[in-house]
Chain A
Amino acid sequence: MNSMAVPFSFARTSLIAGNTFLEAVRQRLFLFLVLLAVALVAGARFFHEFDFGPDGGVPELKFLFDFGLGALIFFGSTLTITATAQLFFSEIENRTALTLLAKPVWRAEFVFGKFLGAWAVVGVFCALLTGLLAVLLWFRTGAILAANPGAFLHGGRIGLGDIAIVCGLQWLKFGVLAMMTLLVSSFSGTNLFSVVMGFFVLVICHLQAFAHQAYTRVEASSVALGLMIETLARVFPDFQFFNLADKVGTEAGLDAGLALRVAAYALAYILVFGFLAVFSFRRREI
């Protein structure tokens, strides 16, 4: 062995990510959330007591889609925050990080490896639920068309591509959430603190757009409050950008350009929070 420079390595990062993924899928929480979410999505088909009206096909599909997406968002957010914090702290608390970081490994490789591993777990979860939702909607579309061939003459049909795009954007949103949880974990002393802060951040990211709108409508608001809301709007990403579900099933359909812009927005936040996490973790005592 010589003392040549050790550059940042994507191979090492992916090794750490692979190991993190393997560790995560062995945890019962992952299996439990997957089963629960699958049961909810599949169960949505059996809500017969809802009255979808005389031309029930379009509202029923929309209901199934919204219900499935809701399950994906709720359980996906829970899984993202808990899995990311847990996978990070299991390395610290079990002291496997000590052995790993005593190797020629950059801390940036460790942070991004943990992130990619956790994000891959959430990706598998999203893919499973998206696939299930797509199959469910495809079957119902066929059944509705068989009963009423003109059911979708005025639109309302939900395309598989649209489902994939909407769920894919949610996965990107979970990526931003995972990186923010990792940023908190990089300086946090306990797993619990990271999880609580992760949910806190999630709420801020979902509500900050409403707070911003409300402030701009009310003229008499205080300067301090305005400054705080402006700061929140700059620092925290706006998770409302990722909600393109309303466009699904409409005549206009999803705007692919908008979806790409939202994806770029997510990746930019992932990178910025990633660099902050590396900076924070750089001098952490292991």
Chain B
Amino acid sequence: MTTAAEASVPAAAPSSGAPVAIDLCGVTKDFPVGLRGLKLRAVDNLSLAVPAGQVFGLLGPNGSGKSTTIKIVLGLLEPTAGTCRVVGVPSAQVESRRNVGYLPEAPYFYRYLSGAELVRFYARVCGVPRQRLDARVREVLDWVGLTGAAARRVGTYSKGMLQRVGLAQALVHDPRLVILDEPTAGVDPAGSAEISSMILRLKSEGRTVLITSHLLAQIEDVCDRIAILDRGRLILEGAVAELVGRRDRQALIVEALPPGELAELRVWLAARGRALESVEQPRARLDEIFLREVARAGDGRKEAGP
């Protein structure tokens, strides 16, 4: 785990010798503001190594430098200082983007193209061989669950479908690194859960995923490691399991105890020098209830027939 005090030191790969998908070293980005030579520092001496094959969450409040960092990784912005390499290639070089698939925040695509035409366009831009083109387009559209809507114009797509077609265009050239900028922004819980499961599938295929999101529960569910930025500086970085887990505490879930037995348990623990810190009723997560009930309603409609 890296803390604020260590953040200015260039970060090494999480485990020595492990392959690194993104390597940011002392990256600083200043934007000129106004005509008097004033500068706004969006990213401040950021050093970060994203291990290959993992899901990495880039977190931070609005204006913390997440999008600027992503643009530097994509070669869309040049850092004022420092270096950025993507799968070993400097991000300023066009070659680095052969290895990267990118889903922008609130994606907007050519509305007059159908989903299949759009993915085909990006596939050709990325140099997918002609003989593989049709099969690859079908493959990724199927992968994101858009086969049924492939012939529809993108202008008629819902928010969730736009994210799916965005993911399809990001994956069409089979990149090793996939960058997802707020992939669940504006998407309903069902769509959000599907995107989470797609992210885990990407990981199981051996791809590296860099994700930004304000839905911290989702980040916790899918990410192996996270980094938190604030005002362009790295304030925390580490494995999710290490950051959220408390090794000195345990939660035991038992059937509801009557007050008398609970008191006995306290006494039993006290006799062994332990304390029962809190007694809570476990709560189901609201998104789980939502997904369960929506699925149940859907099953009901299927049984009722057309």
Contact = CB atoms under 8 A, between A and B. Distances in A.
Interface stretch (B72-80, B131-139, B280-288): B72-80
Given A1-B99, A6-B94, A19 B121 contact: yes
B72 to A, nearest CB: 11
Contacts of B143: none
Given A6-B98, A99-B104, A19 B110 contact: yes
Nearest to B102: A102
Listed residue (A16, A94, A99) with the most chain B CB atoms within 10 angstroms of its CB: A99
Contacts of B166: 99
B98 A286 contact: no
B174 interface: yes
B95 A99 contact: no
A2 interface: yes
Given A1-B98, A6-B95, A94-B108, A286 B125 contact: no
Interface string B90-131: 000011111110101001111010000000011011110000
A99 B76 contact: no
A5 interface: yes
Given A19-B110, A96-B108, A285-B77, A2 B98 contact: yes
Contact of B87 (A3, A9, A23, A286): A3
A15 B121 contact: yes
Nearest to A106: B94
B109 A105 contact: no
B169 interface: yes
A209 to B, nearest CB: 36
Contacts of A22: 112
Given A15-B121, A100-B125, A104-B127, A4 B95 contact: yes
Nearest to B29: A285
B122 A98 contact: no
A206 interface: no
Nearest to B31: A285
B303 to A, nearest CB: 42
A270 B108 CA distance: 31
Contacts of A285: 31, 71, 76-77
Interface residues of B, number: 36
Contact of A103 (B31, B88, B97): B97
A1 B175 contact: yes
Interface in A205-264: none
A91 to B, nearest CB: 10
Contacts of A104: 94-95, 97-98, 125-127
B173 interface: yes
Contact of B112 (A5, A15, A26, A103): A26
B176 interface: yes
Contacts of A4: 95, 98
Nearest to B127: A104
Contacts of A12: 124-125, 127
B89 interface: yes
Interface string A9-27: 1011001100100110010
A106 B94 CA distance: 7
A3 B125 contact: no
B76 A103 contact: no
Given A2-B98, A3-B96, A23-B110, A103 B89 contact: no
B173 A1 contact: yes
Contacts of A283: 78
A99 B122 CA distance: 9
A15 B173 CA distance: 16
A11 B169 CA distance: 19
A102 B97 contact: yes
Contacts of B169: 99
A10 to B, nearest CB: 13
Interface in A59-106: 94-96, 98-106
Interface of B: 31, 71, 74-78, 87-89, 94-100, 102, 104, 107-110, 112, 121-122, 124-127, 166, 169, 173-176
